[in-house]
Amino acid sequence: MSISIAIDGPAGAGKSTISRKVSAALGYIYVDTGALYRSIALTLNQQKIAPEETPKIESALHNTDIRLEFIDGEQHVFLNDRDVSGEIRTAEVSMLASKYSARPEVRAYLLSLQRKIAAEHNVIMDGRDIGTVVLPNATLKIFLTADAEDRAQRRYEEMLQRGQSADYETVLADIKKRDYDDSHRAIAPLKPAEDAILVNTTGNTLEQSVKQLSDVILQNLNKGE
- Does 131 engage in binding with ligand DC (CB under 6 A)? no
Give the N- to C-terminal CA distance of the chain in Å, as an integer: 13
Q: Find, among 89, 82, 48, 50, the residue nearest to 66 by Cα.
A: 82
155 binds ligand DC (CB under 6 A): no
* Residue 61 phi, psi (nearest 5): -65, -35
> In DSSP terms, which residues pair with 33 in a beta bridge?
none
The answer to whether residue 5 forms part of the interface with ligand DC (CB under 6 A) is no
Residue 34 as a binder of ligand DC (CB under 6 A): the answer is: yes
Judged by CB under 6 A, does residue 97 bind ligand DC? yes
Which of 21, 103, 128, 155 touches ligand DC by CB under 6 A?
128
User: Per CB under 6 A, does 129 bind ligand DC?
Assistant: yes
Of residues 77 and 210, the one with the C-beta less far from ligand DC: 77
Residue 75 makes contact with ligand DC by CB under 6 A: no
Name the minimum Å distance from CB 220 to ligand DC. 21
- Calpha distance 164→142 (Å, rounded): 31
Cα(177)–Cα(171) distance, rounded to whole angstroms?
10
**Number of neighbours of residue 48 by Cβ within 10 angstroms:** 8
When the beta carbons of 11 and 22 are compared against ligand DC, the nearer one is 11
179 binds ligand DC (CB under 6 A): no
Q: Which is nearer to ligand DC, 185 or 210 (CB)?
A: 185
Q: How far apart are CA 138 and CA 190, in angstroms?
A: 17
Q: Would you count residue 101 as binding ligand DC (CB under 6 A)?
A: yes
Minimal distance, residue 33 CB to ligand DC, in Å: 4
| Residue with smaller CB distance to ligand DC, 104 or 203 | 104
Q: Is 30 in the site for ligand DC (CB under 6 A)?
A: no
Per CB under 6 A, which region of 94-102, 136-144, 157-165, 205-213 contacts ligand DC? 94-102
Q: Which stretch binds ligand DC (CB under 6 A): 48-56, 58-66, 127-135, 208-216?
A: 127-135
Applying CB under 6 A, which residues contact ligand DC? 11, 33-34, 37-38, 94, 97-98, 101, 127-130, 178, 182
